[in-house]
Amino acid sequence: MDKNLIFQPLTFRHLTVKNRIFRSSVTGRWDNYDGSGTQARVNWENKFAKGGVGAIISSYVPISIEGRITPNVVTIDCDERIPFWQTVGETVRRYGCKYIIQLSHSGRQRDIEGIENTQTLKKGIKPLPAPSTTNQADQINGLPANNMSTAKVRAIIQDFAQAARRAKEANLDGIELHSSHGYLINQFLSSAINQRTDEYGGNLKNRYRFLQEIVGSIRQVVGDDFHLQAKISVREFNNIIPPWEKSGNTLQEAIQICQWLEDDGVDAIHVSRGSTFPHPLLPSGPFPYRMLRYTYDTMTSSGGKSSFRNLILFRYRFLWPLFQLIWGRLPRKIEASYQQPVSGLEIEAQWLDQYFREHVSTKEFQQLLNKHQGTVLRDAKEIKQNLKEIPLITTGGFQQASYINQAIAGEYTDGVSMARTLVANNDLVHQFQQGRDIAARPCTYCNECLGAYLELPLGCYSLDRFYQRSVANLTGMEREKATREAEEARTREVMTVFTPPPKPYIPAME
């Protein structure tokens, strides 16, 4: 097989990307509270461009303050943000990397609403209900929702169009609509969430209308030749917590949505899954109890009705099996029966770092790959076969060159997007270019980065990847010392995002 399929350019209607690897969105909270961007964000994006990816899909970028999932992420809600985004685009373009901005609105699915989205009552400060397609709070954190008026629906469509205009004025290379993972557009699309009785609810055509009108309004503002793609959860698996909840859109419904998107002028589909974020099936892997035990307290000030319950569940280890009974239900059912459609080369011990292997053996790592790589690939092929010509990007666990090549060669997808696997190895694409099939210290899908995002700088927190020496024959104090060294190496790596530091300037005198 031609190993360099990864390095063939991918041509969309109005955009060519130099290879088949996209950095998938990974939200990190390192911007200012008001939604202005920081040097850390520029440094973060620079890492992946330098590491060789063909294109970067930004993290979740709110089109309005009300549409944030949390404060401290850069927005695109006003024209003052344009110069920042221009800087981000210029930074990554130096490496021939394209920059696609993910336009997003949280709807009811917020993590921390931020002071602007609260109301001050005598009995306390409470979150304002977020605009949605239902009055039901979100499944995980329980932040309140409001089935919004038609006038509000139209206003949000215009917010998307204005954000798109700013993206084009910032000279970015394209837009991705975050229509997956349970955020606002997904709240319209979903048969399980949408409870509207007007032209935006009910049958699939009506549920699609919001997305269709966003696409139409964006096209009116940016023209027909600006790259526009949509990330879609092609199966929703919505019945996570109470199993009696509806399971949401089926693959057949997703195929229809993607066909309409193609007819309505969208240039690519990014295939994902799940009607919430996080979801037991995406990012796949264990629930990060240890990390959330440390970080989840941040969520309790947000006032979601389930936040305090969750805090108790994560804080006390004896309750973890109880939560696992619920969270693990879908993976037990779905992952257990998943047949890999393609396979990469079998992992050889010498490909992996010797210290890493002391913590994750070659066999254990092979099993992790078998379980978590290409989890949405079969569905992606179904979508691809039902589209006329627009390319497909697929997310979900990719990190092995031979596997990605097989996926492209077998026409399961045209490109792949990678999130955690690039957080672990920012330069993985360069490593592929140099002939490596997998990184020596690969991502173990442990999800500690996901648990860290709320409170800590985003980065890889898996200690197994950071040992600096063998611990095989160490005991007691010596072993503790080696572990301490690993922790320090991990912290050093995470903190690299703050270099170079921002340059303070003196404000003008009034």
Return residues touching ligand FMN (CB under 6 A).
24-27, 59-60, 102, 178, 181, 231, 272, 282-283, 395-397, 418-421, 449-450, 453, 458
47 binds ligand SF4 (CB under 6 A): no
Q: At closest approach, how far in Å is the CB of 420 from ligand SF4?
A: 4
Give whichever of 211 and 471 is closer to ligand FMN, judged by the CB atom.
Answer: 211
Hunting for tokens 């990184």 — which residue is that? 439
Q: Helices 82-93 and 39-50: crossing angle, nearest 10°? A: 20
Kindly state the smallest distance separating residue 462's Cβ from ligand FMN, in Å: 12
Smallest gap, in angstroms, from Cβ of residue 24 to ligand SF4?
Answer: 12
**CB of 298 or CB of 447, closer to ligand SF4:** 447
Nearer to ligand FMN, 428 or 471 (CB): 428
Nearer to ligand SF4, 257 or 460 (CB): 460
Q: Choose the contact partner of 227 out of ligand SF4, ligand FMN, none; CB within 5 to 8 A by kind.
A: none
Phi/psi at 147 (5° precision): -70, 105
Q: What does 460 interact with, of ligand FMN, ligand SF4, none (CB < 5 to 8 A by kind)?
A: ligand SF4
- 413 vs 447, which CB is nearer to ligand SF4? 447
**Partner from ligand SF4, ligand FMN, none contacting 10, C-beta within 5 to 8 A by type:** none
DSSP type of residue 34: T
Q: Stretches 23-31, 259-267, 409-417, 457-465: which one binds ligand SF4 (CB under 6 A)?
A: 457-465
Q: Tell whether residue 462 is a contact of ligand SF4 (CB under 6 A).
A: yes
Q: Count of residues binding ligand SF4 (CB under 6 A)?
A: 14
**Residue pair 342/406 in contact by the 8 Å Cβ criterion:** yes
Of 318, 356, 351, 303, give the one whose Cα is nearest residue 470: 356
Catalytic residue among 60, 183, 289, 461: 183
Q: HEC string of 143-195?
A: CCEEECCHHHHHHHHHHHHHHHHHHHHCCCCEEEEEECCCCHHHHHHCCCCCC
461 in catalytic set: no
The whole-angstrom separation of Cα 353 and Cα 366 is 14
Tell the smallest beta-carbon distance from residue 60 to ligand SF4 (Å). Answer: 17
Give which of ligand FMN, ligand SF4, none residue 396 binds (C-beta under 5 to 8 Å, depending on kind).
ligand FMN
Residue 460 interacting with ligand SF4 (CB under 6 A): yes
Give the nearest distance from C-beta 443 to ligand SF4 in angstroms: 3
Backbone phi, then psi, for 75, in 5-degree steps?
Answer: -110, 180
Instruction: Report, in Å, the least distance between residue 84 CB and ligand SF4.
Output: 26
Min CB(82)–ligand SF4 separation in Å = 32
CA distances from 228 to 193, 266, 429, 444 (A): 25, 6, 24, 32
Range in contact with ligand SF4 (rule: CB under 6 A) among 117-125, 244-252, 321-329, 437-445? 437-445
Contact call for residue 373 and ligand SF4 (CB under 6 A): no
When asked if residue 438 is in the footprint of ligand SF4 (CB under 6 A), the reply is no
DSSP string, 460-479: ---GGG---S--TT--HHHH
What residue type is assigned to position 82 of the chain? I
Strand partners, 145: 130
Alpha-carbon distance of 181 to 396, in angstroms, equals 13
Residue 423 found at the interface with ligand SF4 (CB under 6 A): yes
- Which of 406, 405, 414, 343 shows the shortest CA–CA distance to 384? 414
444 binds ligand SF4 (CB under 6 A): yes
Which pairing describes strands 130-132 and 16-17: parallel, antiparallel, or unpaired?
unpaired
Neighbours of 122 (CB within 10 A): 4
Among 24, 104, 191, 447, binds ligand SF4 (CB under 6 A): 447
Residues 6+ apart with CB under 8 A from 112: 69, 70, 71, 298, 299, 301, 302, 454
- Reduced 3-state DSSP string for 414-463: CEEEECHHHHHCCCHHHHHHCCCCCCCCCCCCCCHHHHHCCCCCCCCCCH
Pair of tokens at residue 62: 């709110």
Q: Which does 60 bind (CB under 5 to 8 A by kind): ligand SF4, ligand FMN, none?
A: ligand FMN
445 binds ligand SF4 (CB under 6 A): yes
448 binds, among ligand FMN, ligand SF4, none (CB under 5 to 8 A by kind): ligand SF4
**CB under 5 to 8 A by kind: which of ligand FMN, ligand SF4, none does 181 bind?**
ligand FMN
C-beta of 102 vs 462, nearer to ligand FMN: 102
Name which of 400, 402, 353 is nearest 373 in CA terms: 400
Q: Does 424 bind ligand SF4 (CB under 6 A)?
A: yes
Q: Is 25 in the site for ligand SF4 (CB under 6 A)?
A: no
Nearest CA to 399 among 367, 372, 434?
Answer: 372
d(CA 416, CA 272): 11
The binder of ligand SF4 chosen from 446, 456, 471, 486 (CB under 6 A): 446
Among 37-45, 226-234, 246-254, 455-463, the segment contacting ligand SF4 (CB under 6 A): 455-463
Residues 6+ apart with CB under 8 A from 265: 215, 219, 224, 228
Cβ 395 to ligand FMN shortest distance, Å: 4
CB nearer ligand SF4, residue 24 or residue 307: 24
Q: List all residues 6 or more positions away from 309 whose beta carbon is below 8 Å from its beta carbon.
A: none
CB-based burial of residue 358 (10 Å sphere; 0-12 exposed, 13-18 middle, 19+ buried)? middle
Catalytic residues: 183
Q: What does the binding site for ligand SF4 look like in residue numbers (CB under 6 A)? A: 420, 423-424, 443-449, 460-462, 465
